[in-house]
Amino acid sequence: EDQVTQSPEALRLQEGESSSLNCSYTVSGLRGLFWYRQDPGKGPEFLFTLYSAGEEKEKERLKATLTKKESFLHITAPKPEDSATYLCAVQESGGGADGLTFGKGTHLIIQP
């Protein structure tokens, strides 16, 4: 059973058309939920960490929110340079270095 499920798999928007990406997770205890951006041929680039339900973080046109079962990445008035794959990842609580568990990502295309 997947611990992290992202939807939609792909999304095509017009420049300026706002939308949201979803990340659903199932873990026994959440240490942190992470959003990364990945451009073609590059490694993921850190965007946000969220720790508890109700938390929100913003950066330019992006806003991440967290509930007990899912996280949303809201994109407001996107520009073509926002085109990328957006990855969600979780780290479970319980000690130890178990790494991050990533979803498959949402491939976002912003058309001019």
Partner 1 sequence: ETGVTQSPTHLIKTRGQQVTLRCSSQSGHNTVSWYQQALGQGPQFIFQYYREEENGRGNFPPRFSGLQFPNYSSELNVNALELDDSALYLCASSSNRAIEEKLFFGSGTQLSVL
Residues that bind partner 1 (CB under 8 A): 4, 31-32, 34, 36, 41-46, 49, 51, 87, 89, 91, 96-105
β-bridge pairing 10-14 and 106-111: parallel
Cβ-proximal residues to 62 (8 Å cutoff; 6+ apart), any chain: 35, 47, 48, 73, 74, 75, 76
8 or 79: CB nearest partner 1: 8
User: Closer CB to partner 1, residue 19 or residue 38?
Assistant: 38
- Token pair, residue 70, equals 């899912």
Q: With respect to partner 1, which residue has the nearer C-beta, 14 or 41?
A: 41
